Amino acid sequence: MKILVINCGSSSLKYQLIDSDTEKALAVGLCERIGIDGKLNHKPEGGEKITLELPMKDHKDAIKAVLAALMNESYGVIKELSEIGAIGHRVVHGGEKFTKSVLINSEVIAAIEECNDLAPLHNPANLIGINACTETMPGVPQVAVFDTAFHQTMPMKAYLYGIPYTYYEKYKVRRYGFHGTSHSFVSKRAAEFAGLDLKNSKIIVCHLGNGASISAVVNGESVDTSMGLTPLEGLIMGTRSGDIDPSIIEYLSKKEGKCLEEVMGVLNKKSGVLGLSGVSSDFRDLQSAAKEGNEHAIEAVEVFVYRVVKYIGGYVAAMNGVDAIVFTAGLGENDKTIRNMVCSYFGYLGVKIDQERNAVSGKEQIITTDDSKTKVMVIPTNEELAIARETIAIVK
Ligand code: ADP
């Protein structure tokens, strides 16, 4: 069956058409500037990438453009719409309602809407994508796959904040965690790849991309993760601050004469390694600036690494041990220097990095020596394939 995987943002729409038998992406693409003017990047498997300037006044126009590209005579990959058997949507926040992926119906849509307050930038966009598909492809089953669902197994001691309990009861203020599809996919694959029994394993997954989070996975279930109520908590990221003393918000607001929204804007968009370095949110730029001796870039990388190390150490304690530490996402898969810096702290876990193995980029690999007490690995994430697998499992 062919599954259309959709990841809808407020002005963008990423898609992949995946053949569930071969698990290959037949086409991948991205609609940008929806509601402004409109641009579509589309790449069929094994073919050239094409870029089209297409007016897209809303997400429905974007979906129509995607379907037209998928069926185009020269760069399309299917002949008719009926070849698309199901649609899988990435939905960012499922609150406490969704502990796993679900077939979308009107009740599910209403329940996702109820989570809008928890992810005001993401959930409404995800719903627009769902509604646009319902209108353009009526009758095709749609599945919602939530970023938060995998972490719903976290115990109370990991998800409650130390604030009045009434805020949890009234407003569901608690830690949820994100990147769940990736943490789930990568932890499963890591166990398989390393020959560990998932049901009897302790794995730490470091999803280090522009957005970054770490999770502690015991026997295949998430028991803790670094992101919280929103994706702002935890690690220092490309542009996000991660954990800070909450008093900084009031202090900066007074000192800079900024309102709450403005300070939150700084913490989300102007902080992280970008804010620390003043160079870039992209680690490739940071590494080249660091090589040229830029002090702030060097510091930003050190601060980033140190936070990663503290989370890993915390999770080793929480799990009372670890079998494997896994790196994934843009930075985790590609940056051997960052992996080396992180692992240099874990001599006490008996981690021994094999530098030849660690030279790997974007490929599954155990990067420790055969006699290393704890395994460290690189496992590329594939959130789209994970969404397609969830979708097929539900519609079958
Ligand atoms: P997101 O999906 O959150 O936007 P990604 O998973 O694509 O982020 O990761 C982006 C980060 O990965 C950037 O900081 C980028 O510099 C880093 N990255 C991507 N490719 C490489 C590479 N070949 N070497 C080093 N870093 C890389």
| 304 CA distance to ligand 1 middle (Å) | 14
**396 in any annotated domain:** no
Same domain, 125 and 212: no
pLDDT confidence of residue 123: 92
Q: What is the pTM of this model?
A: 0.95
User: How would residue 121 be classed by pLDDT, with cut points 50, 70 and 90?
Assistant: confident
- Within a domain: residue 177? no
Asked if pLDDT for residue 120 goes beyond 90, the answer is no
CA dist 5 → 26, 58, 88 (Å): 11, 18, 5
Own/partner pairs for 362-370, CB < 8 Å, 24+ apart?
362/333, 362/334, 363/333, 364/189, 364/193, 366/193, 366/194, 367/339
Give how many domains the chain has, as a whole number. Answer: 2
Identify the band that residue 147 occupies on the pLDDT scale cut at 50, 70 and 90.
very high
Q: Which domain holds residue 57?
A: 2-146
Do 224 and 364 have their domain in common? Answer: yes
What is the reported pLDDT for 395?
96
Whether residue 275 sits in one domain with residue 215: yes
Say if residues 131 and 142 touch (Cβ distance below 8 Å).
Answer: no
Of 304, 257, 252, the C-alpha closest to 283 is 304
Write out the two tokens for 2.
Answer: 């062919």
Residues 6+ apart with CB under 8 A from 80: 71
pLDDT range class, residue 119, cuts 50, 70, 90:
confident
Residue 11 per-residue DSSP state = S
User: Residue 235: what pLDDT?
Assistant: 98
Last residue of a domain, one of 146, 168, 188: 146
pLDDT, one tens digit per residue, over 312-363 is 999 999 999 999 999 999 999 999 999 999 999 999 999 999 999 999 999 9
Mean pLDDT of the chain: 96
Taking CA atoms, 393 is separated from 102, 143, 155, 252, 387, in Å, by 10, 10, 27, 48, 10
- How does residue 77 score in pLDDT terms, banded at 50, 70 and 90? very high
- Highest mean pLDDT: which of 57-61, 117-121, 321-325? 321-325
- Respond yes or no: is residue 147 known to be catalytic: yes
Which amino acid is it at 35? G
Within a domain: 290? yes
Output the six-digit token pair for 206: 């470091």
Clarify whether residues 122 and 217 are in a common domain. Answer: no
Q: What is the pLDDT of residues 79-96, one digit of tens each?
A: 999 999 999 999 999 999
Residue 163 lies inside a defined structural domain of this protein? no
Specify whether 74 is located in the same domain as 213: no
Q: Are residues 142 and 202 in the same domain?
A: no
**Residue 342 located in a structural domain:** yes
* Residue 10, pLDDT above cutoff 90: no
Question: Residue 188: is it exposed, middle or buried by C-beta count within 10 angstroms (0-12/13-18/19+)?
Answer: middle
User: Could you tell me if 207 and 353 lie in one domain?
Assistant: yes
User: What is the rounded distance in angstroms from the CA atom of residue 15 to the CA atom of residue 63?
Assistant: 9
Ligand 1 midpoint to CA 210 (Å): 6
Measured in Å, residue 226 CA sits from the centre of ligand 1 at 19
User: Packing angle between helix 106-114 and helix 123-136, nearest 10 degrees?
Assistant: 160
Tell me, yes or no, whether 232 lies in a domain. yes
Please state, in angstroms and rounded to a whole number, the distance separating the CA atoms of residues 251 and 265: 15
If you take atom 7 of ligand 1, which residue's CA is the nearest one?
Answer: 330
Cα–Cα separations (whole angstroms), residue 25 to 19, 20, 77, 125: 6, 9, 10, 24
Distance in angstroms (rounded) separating the CA atoms of residues 153 and 183: 13
- Nearest atom within ligand 1 for CA of residue 335: 25
pLDDT higher for 9 or 187? Answer: 187
Position 133 in a domain: yes
Rounded to whole angstroms, the Cα distance separating 188 from 148 reads 17
What is the distance between the alpha carbons of residues 76 and 78, in angstroms, rounded to a whole number? 6
Buried b (16+ CB within 10 A) or exposed e, 38-52: bbbebbbeeeeeeeb
**How are beta strands 202-208 and 221-225 bridged, if at all?**
unpaired
From CA 325, how far away is CA 313, in angstroms rounded?
11
Residue 235's identity, in one-letter code, is L
Residue 282: is its pLDDT beyond 90?
Answer: yes
Closest among 182, 203, 234 to 323, alpha carbons compared: 203
- Please tell me whether residues 133 and 202 are part of one structural domain: no
- Specify the CATH number for the domain of residue 234: 3.30.420.40
Does residue 107 sit in the same domain as residue 29? yes
Centre of ligand 1 to C-alpha 333, Å, is: 8
Of 84, 113, 146, the position where a domain reaches its end is: 146
Q: CA separation (Å) from 257 to 177, 260, 278?
A: 32, 10, 22
Specify whether 261 is located in the same domain as 344. Answer: yes
Best residue among 28, 30, 284, 339 to mutate for probing ligand 1's pocket (most ligand atoms within 8 Å of CB) is 284
Q: Name the amino acid, one letter, at 150.
A: F
Boundary-marking domain end, from 146, 161, 189: 146
Residue 153 within any structural domain of the chain: no
- Report the share of the chain in percent with pLDDT over 90: 97
- Give the pLDDT mean for 227-243: 96
| Distances from the Cα of 352 to the Cα of 176, 202, 222, 326, 340, angstroms | 33, 18, 26, 14, 10
Residue 9 has pLDDT above 90, yes or no: no
Q: Are residues 221 and 87 in the same domain?
A: no
Neighbours of 264 (CB within 10 A): 15
Give the residue, out of 335, 342, 363, with the most ligand 1 atoms within 8 A of its beta carbon, to mutate for a pocket test. 335
Check 21, 61, 117, 147 and give the catalytic one: 147
Could you tell me if 213 and 326 lie in one domain? Answer: yes
Confidence band for 11, pLDDT divided at 50, 70 and 90: confident
Q: Whose CA is nearest to atom 25 of ligand 1?
A: 335
Predicted confidence band of residue 28 (pLDDT cuts 50, 70, 90):
very high
